[in-house]
Structure 1
């Protein structure tokens, strides 16, 4: 790890620490060091989000995971963070805390065949490192939540004090298709979100941005709000609303740009009208 520069909020490279599955980032939403678990080192995802920062993104699922290697990497890296000088060498002062361990890599993590077993591995390693109070988070598009193996992973995550950040970026078929590259009925998104929230504490994670210089219009925002509210306001922890802070690596990148913070705050107020907690990260 010698010779590496300091971590930056604007740089979430998965190879920063030279490992296959484990990587550190400075998370603006988590507010410190997030230890990432990348179950998609093949850059394969079943969605194609226009704001995605993964280079060479392809359609597909996670490969077979070398669980022994993952366990070794996570154990060693947590030890470096807790007992070594990694924080002093690579993390700016004031941000030298482990805020979470997050399944968030180069594709949809729940597409890994051994997802439930991997969740159990990560929780056990976290606890053995003396970090039982550090939350484990799953960042997911929620598309595979109906699979029993994924549901078992969510139950294990909940039992370990973890939570889900469930991606919802649009509330109309055309918005979902344009933003996420998939054809979905918004009602099915609401049902999947409700199912997920019933298995594990769940936040909605939403990226809002300008498309060809235009902010989402009122109809788009209303449909989005209705989509998440249909899952049951009381069942959700709230909404994590954020803008684009890093350059997309997808062909659509020139069409994607950041919204002014004032616009994001206006959208947040619209969400709050439904009774939902909203955290905004411009």
Structure 2
């Protein structure tokens, strides 16, 4: 691996390890190194969130995954993290631990037809590297494809790895999702996909809360969100909690000049409303 500058919570360069699929980040939410797996090296996603930090984002799906290459990269990089000098030379002191393996990257990872095979591959590599159970495997997803049988099979396998799903829910109305995520997904479909996720694997909601055109999310946005999670709970579908976060790095979408971070007090106030409904909230400003 070539010598490059040290990683930080603001440097999430997905080419930092000179690999196709595997990249490390220092996660502000996790407090350690997250081993990222990018199944969308073509920068294609079926949504277009206006805060997205992916350059040259296009509409589409993941290309075919070269499973032997992914296996080689993941095996080699885990070995480097555990036995090489990457942690010492590239990671800030205090964050020199593997926190998780995260399927995220430059698009929707569940759009890869090989998704279930990828989860099985990760399980093998975890076993080879003797990673402890405390190193989680995390799927970061917009949840839009969780109705697919192969994706659900992947979630069943993920659950066996002490895995988690981080299910994107930035707004809980169709108008809000169109405005923030540039998708026409119905709330009924979000509801059904989220129920499927919760049934198959421990699932957190991940919610990006920020100002648009200088305006914080409206009271209606808050009520829509609280009403949605309240309905889930009344139906008996309880997620692990909510990962509530603000803007840490600049968007690379056309809307970037219109976005700004909220004061942490605003995040804390909304978090208290969510907690009052009965869910745990973790805040990353």
Look up the match of 2:174.
173
Look up the match of 2:111.
111
Q: Which of 232, 249, 266 is the matching residue for 1:263?
A: 266
After TM superposition, give the deviation of residue 234 of structure 1 in Å: 5.2
Look up the match of 2:123.
123
Asked if 1 retains the 8 angstrom alpha-carbon contact of 2:6 and 2:90, the reply is yes
Asked if 1 retains the 8 angstrom alpha-carbon contact of 2:2 and 2:18, the reply is no
Distance 1:27 1:57 in 2: 22
**Is 2:250 aligned against 1:247?**
yes
After superposition, residues 1-282 of structure 1 pair within 5 angstroms as: 1-133=1-133, 134-232=135-233, 235-282=238-285
Structure 1, residues 239-273: CA drift from partner, whole Å, max 9, x if none? 00000000000001111110000000011011111
Asked if 2 retains the 8 angstrom alpha-carbon contact of 1:187 and 1:227, the reply is no
Distance 2:158 2:67 in 1: 17
Structure 1, residues 129-181: CA drift from partner, whole Å, max 9, x if none? 01032110000000000000000000000012111000000011111001001
Distance 1:139 1:255 in 2: 25
Q: After alignment, is 227-236 or 84-93 more displaced?
A: 227-236
Distance 2:237 2:191 in 1: 14
Asked if 2 retains the 8 angstrom alpha-carbon contact of 1:190 and 1:228, the reply is no
Distance 1:273 1:187, change over 3 A: farther
TM-score, normalised by the number of residues in structure 2: 0.97
The answer for unaligned runs of 5 or more in structure 2 is none
Asked if 1 retains the 8 angstrom alpha-carbon contact of 2:195 and 2:237, the reply is no
Structure 1, residues 157-210: CA drift from partner, whole Å, max 9, x if none? 001211100000001111100100101222321221111110000000000000
Asked if 1 retains the 8 angstrom alpha-carbon contact of 2:62 and 2:112, the reply is yes
Structure 1, residues 99-132: CA drift from partner, whole Å, max 9, x if none? 0000010000000001001101011101210103
RMSD of equivalent CA atoms: 1.0
Distance 1:243 1:115 in 2: 29
After TM superposition, give the deviation of residue 67 of structure 1 in Å: 0.3
Count of paired positions: 282
Asked if 2 retains the 8 angstrom alpha-carbon contact of 1:36 and 1:104, the reply is yes
TM-score, normalised by the number of residues in structure 1: 0.98
